[in-house]
Structure 1
Amino acid sequence: MDLPQGFHSQGENLVDRLVKSLYGLKQQSQHDHSLFTKHSKQGTVIILVYVDDMLIAGDSLEQILETKTALQNAFKMKDLGELKYFLGIEFARSSKGITMHKRKYALELTSEAGLAASKPANTPIDINVKLTSRQYDETIKDKVYIEEDPLTDQSGYHRLIRKLLYLTVTRPDISFAVQTLSQFLQDPKKSHMDVALRIMRYIKKQPGQGLLLSSKFRNEITEFCDADWASCPITRRFVTGFMIKFGDSLVSWKSKK
């Protein structure tokens, strides 16, 4: 890129810092370095890259086709057409909008856990359960804590929690339960594995549940937040959760201690 007319460099070994984006110049997102955008008078094109997979979107079909042609001239690539499957996420279109779900992933995970013939659960976790690194004996009046033996196969618990974490990308309804179980990766017990399997039985009830990106445009951001004071029985820290909606579409959420 050449310097604009009338601008003189202060030295040969210096570079110029771009403060504002220029039309036609691709920009790398500061929040996600695999996300690129290009703004022009004809429209905006957004490119998301993950290893050898690429997702192209924009508000101008002409600009999208032009971008595809430019990429095909520079790299060997295969055009798979309209988006239906990307990084384990399935996309379904309707008059209501675009639904993102992981039905195939959820069914495979349920089968892998050996719960294909199990009875589905109505909730991911019992609200009265307070998981700790120890469990108490309810037969004793003062609820004396007793030590639980660790799981024999701790690696199995680790794998299951990792896969459940990936499932939360389209299932915010299990975020709280999964973040709770993630706190016991270092020394999981049988009680923790029982709750993890309950989450799987809950997923089995509706494996295709996901997120709807509404086709109705409403330029409004709505936020919901809640906190449960000192609810963690181990550290007495509070657990907070939030969700952010753009129009009728859920775009961000989190559950965190």
Structure 2
Amino acid sequence: MVLIYVDDLLVTRNDHKLILEAKSILKDRFKMKDLDELRYFLGIEFARNDSGILMHQRKYCLELISDIELSNSKTVRTPIELNQKLTTTEFDLHFPTDNEDDRVLDDPSVYQKLVGRLLYLTITRPDITFAVQLLSQFMHSPKTCHMEAAMRVVRYVKQAPGLGILMTVNTNNQLIAYCDADWVACPNNTKSITGYMVTYGGSLIS
């Protein structure tokens, strides 16, 4: 299998001989540089040991923390506050609150860019998937509480920027899925929120 992004190619297969043959054919037809074993691809880093391959985005995390000036901030133990319910501006019109400080951001693009960067981070950080998915629902009209929640996710990531997904060498052919639902948990539309996790051979794939 060959993954292509602009001028970067990733050749992968469970047969090393076929990988060498594919690279040899490509070299005969194109001017290219072989970087040998995969270490970095599209912001994702790959570290190998006897247990398997760890996919992480440590460099990406550190750049994100620095860019939004949270290098000196304290870390938090959870990506979102327990039982926190974030609401839309439309919801607030029908059910106003006494919190006058919770207003619509003057420049929503700052929030939109931050959530966009966090969405890319969920590739290797499934532990923040729920929080980021929740934050992405307020892109059109973010409020100060949404921005504070997004910053909290970054402070959570800061405590372990090198955390990622381990693709274990101890594989089997078992496909296991877990699912759970929080009935009528969303205050904005009273719909249920479903979470799931799928593993193959002990490695998380979705």
- Taking the aligned partners of 2:134 and 2:16, their CA distance within structure 1 comes to 44
Q: Which whole-Å CA distance do the structure 2 matches of 1:220 and 1:182 have between them? A: 33
Larger Cα Rg: Structure 1 or Structure 2?
A: 1
Write the distance in 2 (CA, Å) between the matches of 1:60 and 1:129: 49
Amino acid at match of 1:117: N
Shift of 1:118: 0.3
Q: Any unmatched runs of 5+ in structure 1? A: 1-45, 137-142, 253-257
Match of 1:119 among 74, 90, 93: 74
Q: Partner letter of residue 109 of structure 1? A: L
- Relative contact order (alpha carbons < 8 A, sep ≥ 6): 1 or 2 greater? 2
2:25 is matched with 70
**CA deviation digits over 1:141-180, x for unaligned, max 9?**
xx85357421122111011000000000000000000010
Secondary structure in structure 2 of the residue aligned to 1:70: helix
Q: Are 1:237 and 2:169 an aligned pair?
A: no
Q: What is the Cα deviation at residue 59 of structure 1? A: 2.3
Equivalences for residues 161-180 of structure 1 within 5 A:
161-180=115-134
Separation (CA, whole Å) in 2 of partners of 1:77 and 1:155? 38
Q: Matches of 1:65 and 1:245 in 2, distance apart?
A: 30
CA distance in 2, matches of 1:94, 1:60: 19
What one-letter code is carried by the residue in structure 2 that aligns with 1:162? G
| TM value normalised by structure 1 | 0.75
Q: How does 1:94-133 map to 2 (within 5 A)?
A: 94-133=49-88
Q: With structure 2 as the length reference, what TM-score do the two structures score? A: 0.93
Residue type of the alignment partner of 1:200: V
- 2:147 aligned counterpart, secondary structure: helix
Amino acid in the other structure paired with 2:67: E
Question: Which structure 2 segments of 5+ residues have no match?
Answer: none
Secondary structure of 2:82's counterpart equals: coil
Counterpart residue type for residue 121 of structure 1: V
Q: Higher strand share goes to which structure?
A: 1
Q: Which has the higher helix share?
A: 2
Paired residue type of 1:145: T
The number of residue pairs the alignment matches comes to 201
Pairwise CA RMSD of aligned residues?
1.5
Instruction: State whether structure 2 residue 142 is matched by structure 1 residue 188.
Output: yes
Q: Which runs of 4+ in 1 moved over 6 A?
A: none
What is the percentage of aligned positions where both structures have the same residue? 50
Q: CA–CA distance in 2 between the matches of 1:81 and 1:113?
A: 34
Equivalents in 1 of 2:107, 2:25: separation in Å?
51
